[in-house]
Structure 1
C-alpha cells in the first residue's frame, strides 16, 4: 500500500490553531473567561498577590529597619498588575525557561521591576516621601528580600486561584446564569395561563400550564444560584507546612496569624487558619458541586424544551436563518438545546472530577491539585457555552397554544381524577351512591380514549348533587389546571 503524501503540519501554522473547541469554534462565547482562568490570568494573579504581600509587609513595618515605599512607588507596583500585557507574558516566559519554576519566575520578574522603579531615586540624590535616604539600588536590594518573604509557592497559588475563580464566577458565569434564569422566568409569566397536557412517565396526566412548568425549572435554578452566590473563597498564607515556621524565626515579635488573616481578607478572600502546605480546596469542591447541580437542572430544561418542540408545543421561528438539515429543507433542528446538553455533560464530568480530586492530598501536599486546577476554565467554559446556547434556543421559540389545546382535547380521560376526587369527598360527607369511585373511573378510562360526550354521560349517571354535577360537566381538560397559573407568581416573591 503506497504511503499517503506528506501533509502540511497544522501544529506549525501561524496563527496558532486551537486544539480544543473552546479556544476555536466557540471562542466568542467563552472569551471573557480568558481574563480570569487562562495561564496568563494565573500569572497576573500571582503577580498581584506578590505585590500586595510586599506592600502589606512594608505598610505594617513587619521587618524592623526595612525601607519604606512612597505612595507613588506603591501605585507604580500595583500598576504592574493593571498593565500586565503581552510583553509581560513574554518576559515571564523567558524567565521561567531559566528557573523552570513558574512562581519563582514571578518573584524574579517583580524583583527586576522593583529595581528599575527604585533606580530613579539614585538620580535624585536625596530622601523621598518614603522617608528613606538610601540609594535606589540599596533600597531595591533590601526590599527585594521581602518579595515572596517566608512564602511557599502554594501561599501564592492558593490565593491566586481563589481570586481567579471568584472573578470568573462573580463577573462572568453568575451574570450569564442569572440572565438566563430571568429569561426563563419571563417566559413562565408570559405563558402562565396557557393550559398544557402534563405527561408523567410519558403518559397523559393531570393538566397544568406551560408557564407553571417553566416556573418550576426557573425556581430550581434560582435555588442553586443562591448557593453559588453565597460561596466562600478561602485563602491561606502560612508557609511551607502551615506552621508559620519561617515567619516566626525571621521576625519573632510579629503577630503572624493576624498579619496573615489581614492580608487574605485584604485580597477579598476568607481566611483559612488551619492548613497543611496547601489550602485544602474544600471550598472549591463545594462550589463546583453547586455549579454542577445547576448544570444538571439546566440539562433537564434542555431535554424538556427539546421534547416540547418535538411535540409541537413550541415552534422554532425567530432568528432561524440557519440551515436545519443538509438534505431536508423543512427541518429546523433544536440544535441549541442539543448543543447545550453535550456541553453540560462535559462541564459536569470536569466539575465532578475537580470536586472529588481536589479535596485529597497526600500528607502535606502533592502536585495533583496543580494539574487539576488548570481545568477549571474548561469546566466553566463548557457551562458558559451551554448557557449561551440555551438562551439563544429560548429566544428563538414561539409557543403554539393551539397544539397544546389539541392534545388536551384528545385526552378527556384525564378528568377521571377530579371526578373520583369529588366522589371521595362526597362519600366522606355521607352522600349515598359514591362508593368505589376509583374503580368505577378506572373501568371507564383505563387503556382507552374517551370523549366529552362519554364523560358527560358518565357524570350525569353518577347521581351527584346538582352543584357538583354541573361543575364537573362544565369542566374540560383545558380548564382543569388547578392553581397552576397562580403558582407562577411565586417567582416574584422572596
Structure 2
C-alpha cells in the first residue's frame, strides 16, 4: 500500500544520511511496484482485492444478511422490507466510494476494529430508511469471521472471474495462435540441450498452451466456500436467541444466496482449504508460464525468434544493436514472486490454532499482491509474444546441420526389418552409435550408410527421402489438441 498523501506544505523531514524524506510527497510515492511503476497493469484488481474493496464487500455481506433475515422472517417480529428499503440498503453498497472509505476509516479509528466499524457504518444509515428500530439486526449472530470469510470469498471469486481468468485465457489463446501459425514449421528439438528428434515449433507451443489451459480449467472449476455459523461454528448464539429457527438452513440459504458454496462444518473460521486449492492451481499456471518464458527466451537467444523492434525503444543503454527479451525476463521474476506468495498463503491459511488464531488476517491482506504479480507477468508475456517473428530460415539451417538426428529413424527401421525377417539387421543401435556419436554426419554419409544395409526396397526408399526437416512424425497434427 502506498503511504498516505500529505500536503506539500508540510515541513521536510531529514533522513539520518542528510537526504530529504520522500514519505511526505504529494501525490504519495508508492512503496511497492504494483502501486507505483506497474500500477496500470495491477489497477483492475483494486476493485476486488484492496483494503477498500474488502470493506465494501463486508458492507455487502452485512447488508445482504440484514435483508435475508427480514425477507425470511427468521426472528420474531420481522417482516419483509419494502422495495424502497431494500433498494436503499443496497445503495449503501453500490454507492460505496472514496468518501465512504474515509468515513469508515474514521469510525475504525474509534472502534479499533474493522468489522465493528462496518456494523456502525451501516447502522448509522438505517434511520433515514425508516429502519432505525432494526439497528440490533445488523451483524446479528455474527462473529467477525462470518463477515470476513464471505467478503473475501466474494472478492476473490470476482477477481478471478473478472480479472485473472480473462487475462489467463487471453494469454492461452495467444500461445495457441502461435502454435497454429507455426504448426508446419520444422524445428530441431533439444533434449538435455543437445540436438534430438525434430519437431515443429507449433507443436512445442501447443504443448505449453495445452498445459496452461488445463490449469485455467482447474481455476474455472474452483469452489468458493463460505460459512455463517457464529463464534465457534456451533450456532450457539443463534439457538440461544431464536431456538425455533432452522439455523443451518438459514446459513446455507444465505451463503448460496451470495453465490458461494456452503461449508457446513467449521471452527470460528472458514477453513480456507478452497483458497489453498485455488492458489495451488494459480501457482501451477504461473510455473508453466515460467517454463514458457525460459523456452522462448532460449529460442530468441539462438535466433529461432526475431524480436520486432518497438519504435523509439532502447534495447541496451550502450549497445544499439540489441533488443533485450525484457518482457520474458520481467515475467519470470514476477511469476516467482507471485508463486512464493501463493505458496505461502496456501500453507499458512490451512492452519489455525484450535478454534481460531489471527494469522489468516495478516496473510489474506497479501492476496491482491499475489494476484497482481501474476497479472503483471501475464501482461508482459502477452506483449512479448506479440512482438515475435519466426525466423524460419534459422530453424531450417539448424536442421540441415544435424543430419545425425536421423540415426534414430534408421535404427528403428532396421529393428522393424529384423522383425519382418530381413537379414543383416543385427545390432542396429550399436551400429548407428558407432556412425554418429561424436561425429558430424552429413546427408551423403547417411545415405551411403543406408544404401549398404541391405534393407527392403520400400524401407530404403523411405529412409532415402527422409530429411531432418521432414522427420517430425505427426507433430503438425498434434496442434489440433489446443483448438
Measured after TM superposition, the shift of residue 5 of structure 1 is: 6.7
Residue of structure 2 equivalent to 1:132 = none
Classify 1:320/1:471 alpha carbon distance in 2 versus 1 (closer, same or farther; 3 Å): farther
1:216 paired with 2:203, answer no
* Of 153, 174, 181, the match for 1:190: 181
Name the counterpart of 1:358: 349
The equivalent of 1:448 in structure 2 is: 439
Aligned length: 469
Question: How far has the Cα of 1:169 moved from its partner?
Answer: 0.6
Aligned ranges 1:31-70 → 2 under 5 Å = 31-66=43-78, 68-70=80-82
SS of 1:47's equivalent in the other structure is helix
Query: What's the CA shift for 1:321?
Result: 3.8
Distance 1:480 1:66 in 2: 77
What secondary structure, in the 3-state scheme, does the structure 2 residue paired with 1:22 have?
Answer: helix
2:300 corresponds to 1:340 = no
Task: Give the alignment partner of residue 195 of structure 2, picking from 192, 198, 204.
Answer: 204
Deviations 1:296-355 (A, max 9, x none): 000000000000000100000154641000000000000000000000000000000000
Counterpart of 1:106?
Answer: 118
Distance in 2, Cα, partners of 1:176 & 1:410: 40
For residues 198-232 of structure 1, the C-alpha deviation after alignment (integer angstroms, 9 at most, x for no partner) is: 00000000000000000000001111111000000
CA contact (8 A) 1:196 1:405 kept: yes
What are the equivalent positions in structure 2 for 1:6-155 lying under 5 Å apart? 6-66=18-78, 68-118=80-130, 139-140=131-132, 142-155=133-146
CA distance in 1, matches of 2:451, 2:80: 95
SS of aligned partner of 1:10: coil
* 2:322 maps to 1:331: yes
Secondary structure of the 2:126 match is helix
CA contact (8 A) 1:411 1:451 kept: yes
> What is residue 241 of structure 1 aligned with on the other side?
232
Which residue does 2:430 correspond to in 1? 439
SS in 2 for 1:196: strand
Aligned to 2:165: 174
Q: Which whole-Å deviations, capped at 9, do the CAs of 1:142-188 have from their partners, x for residues lacking one?
A: 21010000100000000000001101111100000000001100110
The question of whether the paired residues in 1 share the 8 Å contact of 2:186 and 2:199 is answered with yes
Question: Contact 1:159–1:235 at 8 Å: present in 2 too?
Answer: yes
Which has the larger displacement, 28-37 or 65-74? 65-74
More displaced 10-residue stretch of structure 1: 102-111 or 6-15: 6-15
2: CA distance between counterparts of 1:396 and 1:168? 28
* Structure 2 Cα separation of the partners of residues 353 and 478 of structure 1: 46
Asked if 1:378 is matched to 2:390, the reply is no
Q: Is the 8 A contact 1:58 1:69 kept in 2?
A: yes
Q: Matches of residues 307-322 of structure 1 in structure 2 within 5 Å? A: 307-317=298-308, 319=310, 321-322=312-313
Cα distance in 2 between the residues matched to 1:408 and 1:68? 76
1:480 is matched with which residue? Answer: 471
Deviations 1:18-41 (A, max 9, x none): 100000000101100000000000
Q: Does 1:367 align with 2:379?
A: no
State the Cα deviation string for residues 89-128 of structure 1 (Å, max 9, x = none): 110000000000000000000000112332xxxxxxxxxx
Moved more, 296-305 or 67-76: 67-76
Q: 3-state DSSP class of the match of 1:145?
A: helix
**1:315 aligns to what SS in structure 2?**
strand
With normalisation by structure 2, the TM-score equals: 0.96
Kept after mapping to 2: 8 A contact 1:99/1:105? yes
- Check if 1:232 corresponds to 2:244: no
Q: For 1:477 and 1:5, how far apart are their aligned partners in 2?
A: 64
Contact 1:318–1:395, Cα closer than 8 Å, also in 2: no
Q: Is the 8 A contact 1:192 1:485 kept in 2?
A: yes
* C-alpha distance in 2 between matches for 1:417 and 1:321: 48
Q: Helix, strand or coil: the match of 2:34?
A: coil
Spell out, residue by residue over 1:253-302, the C-alpha distance to the aligned partner (whole angstroms, 9 max, x if none).
Answer: 11100000000000000000000000000000000000000000000000
Cα distance in structure 1, aligned partners of 2:44 and 2:252: 31
1:124 is matched with none
Gaps of 5+ in 1: 119-138
Q: Distance in 2 between matches of 1:240 and 1:14?
A: 43
User: Which of 151, 159, 165 is residue 160 of structure 1 equivalent to?
Assistant: 151
SS of the residue aligned with 1:204? strand
Matched residues in 1 for 2:311 and 2:372: separation?
Answer: 25
Q: With structure 1 as the length reference, what TM-score do the two structures score?
A: 0.94
Equivalent of 1:388 in 379, 382, 388: 379
How far off its partner does 1:8 sit? Answer: 2.2
Unaligned runs of 5+ in 2: 1-14
Q: Is contact 1:318–1:398 with CA below 8 Å preserved after alignment? A: no
